[in-house]
């Protein structure tokens, strides 16, 4: 193969290599951006869930304290709060995990 043809192929190969590296970097940048957005959405969903849980749990404790005498109120509030936490998070687990699944596969 003549030297000038070999040089042209070498330059073409070098250019193709640079182009592919740029494409790989762009893909990596896109994936990193997607990952950051996904983490942000999940954190936002978790924050909303925590706020909802907090409001729910305050109501449970207020009801327990309001409906029992002082000696019983703490123990009743703890039992009611434990039951409420289990019920609340059990009910929220599937919708939350499905939402994450949708985000990940989108």
CA-closest candidate to residue 39, choices 86, 104, 106: 104
Mean pLDDT for each 10-residue chunk of the chain (106 residues)? 89 95 95 92 92 94 88 90 93 90 82
Residues written for the chain: 106
**pLDDT of res. 99:** 86
Cβ(106)–Cβ(35) below 8 Å: no
What DSSP string describes 29-70?
A: HHHHHHHHHHHHHHHHHHHHHHHHHHHHHHHHHHHHHHTS-H
**pLDDT of res. 65:** 87
**pLDDT of res. 31:** 92
**pLDDT of res. 64:** 87
**pLDDT of res. 83:** 93
**pLDDT of res. 103:** 81
């Amino acid at each position: 193969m003549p030297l000038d043809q070999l040089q042209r192929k070498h330059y073409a190969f070098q250019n193709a290599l640079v182009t592919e590296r740029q494409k790989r970097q762009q893909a990596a940048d896109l994936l990193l951006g997607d990952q950051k957005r996904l983490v942000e959405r999940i954190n936002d969903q978790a924050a909303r869930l925590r706020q909802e849980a907090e409001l729910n749990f305050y109501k449970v404790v207020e009801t327990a304290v309001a409906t029992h005498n002082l000696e019983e109120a703490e123990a009743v509030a703890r039992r009611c709060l434990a039951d409420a936490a289990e019920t609340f998070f059990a009910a929220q687990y599937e919708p939350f995990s499905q939402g994450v699944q949708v985000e990940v596969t989108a």
